[in-house]
Amino acid sequence: MTGRPGSLRHAVAIVRRRRWVGACAVLLAMLALVAVFADELASARPIVCKLHGRVHLLANVTRPAELGGIGRDRFEATRAPGDFAIWPLVSCGPSTPCGPPVARPLASFAHPLGTDGSGRDVFARLVYGTRSALAVAVVAVVAFVALGAALGAAAGFFGGAVDFAVARAVETLSSFPVPLLALVVQALLPNSGTWSLVAIIAALRWTEVARLVRAEVLATEVRDYVTAARALGASPLRVLYRHILPMTISPIVVSTVLGLGQIVLLESALDFLRVGLPPSVPTWGEMLSESREHFAAWWLLLLPGSLLFASVTATNAIGEALRDALDPRIRT
């Protein structure tokens, strides 16, 4: 049961047989786990601890006020008999320095990937950078795919003035280099931050999805079963929702997967130029831009860079494998 050729199920079945796609999926899943459990991997607060007779569960997530910014050293110094703590893999947060402000390479057990120029733990920054990259990418992709699908479907289904307006908007936005426009808007907005970044990306990237969905809607609309549904008295919206939109799922899935990698790339480039997420948020791009100031510290350049490269490669590989399986004409 693998579905008919050209269907999404068929494509997924083809793609799953490829071993390297599996490897990419595993890599992405691991990154997602890292992003979700960032607090358990690196935090200045213990996961579970008993201090002065009180037990704190998941202190790394809830951040109780009475613990303050307690570090491992302070805890050891102030502990009473019977107190205990279970620490994350690295007991160091991403933003506070936990050592002298010197970049140290693969230093010790406490800082497995070394520290950066301000003495912050590189492992912790990479982990939280994964979280910010994936979070922005997922939210922005959902936003721009939804926007593009809605506008593309409307353009294809209603035609006429709607189609004209959407087509002109697509053409206009495709004339701008997305990084340039995103950079300028983000730089000029008086209170730019995470949400403005997501909004800008969504507003600039929906065009491709809209184009694909519109083409699919136009191709589906003339099929016999749609005519049949209309002849049976289905309302236009029902035809759109039940009979046409399900057919656009394939381009939407492909755009979503490919979009993830592209957004991670775009977002990290903006962070690299210091106009992306606010400076308080650790990101791969910001780490890379910091590596410019510490020329000899190769690990500050290569670690975030290869993580970025790996995640973009993985999403691109899966996305393109899906696209090729859906449309055998492109890669014969």
Q: What residue ranges bind other proteins (CB under 8 A)? A: 163-164, 167-181, 183-185, 187-190, 211, 215, 261, 265, 268-269, 272-273, 275, 288, 291-292, 295, 298, 301-302, 305, 308-309, 312-313, 316-317, 320, 329-332
**Contact indicator for 44, 71 with CB cutoff of 8 Å:** yes
Closer CB to other proteins, 51 or 244, in the complex = 244
The least CB distance from residue 170 to other proteins, in Å, is: 5
Q: Of 130, 96, 89, 88, which Cα lies nearest the Cα of 115?
A: 96
Closer CB to other proteins, 58 or 173, in the complex = 173
Closer CB to other proteins, 47 or 307, in the complex = 307
**Contact indicator for 45, 72 with CB cutoff of 8 Å:** no
Closer CB to other proteins, 145 or 312, in the complex = 312
The least CB distance from residue 222 to other proteins, in Å, is: 15
The least CB distance from residue 315 to other proteins, in Å, is: 9
Name residues whose C-beta falls within 8 Å of residue 262's C-beta, 6 or more positions apart in sequence.
Answer: 205
Closer CB to other proteins, 67 or 137, in the complex = 137
The least CB distance from residue 305 to other proteins, in Å, is: 4
The least CB distance from residue 326 to other proteins, in Å, is: 15
Closer CB to other proteins, 239 or 275, in the complex = 275
The least CB distance from residue 261 to other proteins, in Å, is: 7
